[in-house]
Amino acid sequence: MAKLNRLKIQIIATFITNFKLDNFFSGKIYKGFTKNLCSPGLNCYSCPAAGFACPIGAMQAISGGRKFNIPFYVLGFLMSIGIIFGRMICGFLCPFGLFQDLLNKLSKINLKIPKFLKYIKYIMLIFLVLILPIIYSTDILLADPYYCKYVCPAGILEGAFPLIVTNENLKSALGNLFYIKSITLFLIIFLSIIIYRPFCKVLCPLGAFYALFNKISIFKLELDESKCISCNKCNKVCKMDVEFTKYQNALECIRCNECKNICPTNAITIKRK
């Protein structure tokens, strides 16, 4: 897939995920049948245009709905997606990934982050998304969706900001948490201009989940060493800081195909099991 095609797919996927555009003017949240289904990428449930539920939000809601109630159908859906595509979802179908990609085009600066920071998203997945909602849920009360409530910047960008524009009552109800998360969002926006996908690299539990399937997924990238001339172009072009010649289908690889596109000998191909 060419670079231009990836951008087109990202844009189309974003509009399919958010097909209720008229709700931006009414200030309503769509609650139709498809809202019972999860989108494959990170997309806030509270976005007025959202036609599907966010998989991370759904996982937390079900985990926290009843003591020790594991969200098997949500996990099953995500695992199926992961087994087929791995983190290709992050590269092609995630609306918040597209948002960061567009911001990164505003600057030619591409700073790298310390590698140890990339493990934070796995901690987010294990503790904020999976463990805490189960521990602090009861048979009567729903546990807080800890990740969505305290961390996720997509909720502020896609949900809170559009809704307060059209709903005066919400403006008066804004508290300190809204302002703290707004600061987090603006920090991520700033960092996205000078660092490629900082949210995906450090804070996204959905990316962490899909990463677990990168090496076993049906779709993956493969290096034909007999064609490789060790020019190192694939390693240099990777904005996710993956050394492709050493670690094909590493946990951080989002299958954006930049390495494949730049390879002068066509040594990198998409493998389908």
Domain boundaries, the chain: 3-20+49-211, 220-272
pLDDT in tens, the chain (273 residues): 445 589 999 999 999 999 999 999 888 899 999 998 999 999 999 999 999 999 998 888 776 665 545 566 788 889 999 999 999 999 999 999 999 999 999 999 989 999 999 999 999 999 999 888 878 766 556 667 889 989 999 999 999 899 888 877 777 778 888 999 999 999 999 999 999 999 999 999 999 999 999 999 999 999 999 999 999 999 999 999 999 999 888 999 999 999 999 999 999 998 876
* Tokens matching residue 102: 């567009």
Phi-psi group of 199: left, alpha or beta (phi > 0 → left; psi -120 to 50 → alpha; rest → beta): alpha
- Which CATH number describes the domain made up of 220-272? 3.30.70.20
60 Cβ contact list (under 8 Å, min separation 6)? 129, 133, 143, 145, 146, 147, 148
pLDDT of residue 14: 96
Nearest alpha-carbon partner for 45 in 184, 138, 150, 152: 152
For the CA atoms of the chain, what is the radius of gyration?
19
pTM of the predicted model over 0.85: yes
β-strands 219-223, 268-272: how paired? antiparallel
pLDDT of residue 66: 55
Q: What is the pLDDT of residue 172?
A: 74
Backbone angles phi and psi of 268, in degrees to 5: -110, 125
For residues 199 and 100, the answer to whether their CB atoms sit within 8 Å is yes
The closest alpha carbon to 14, from 35, 46, 40, belongs to: 40
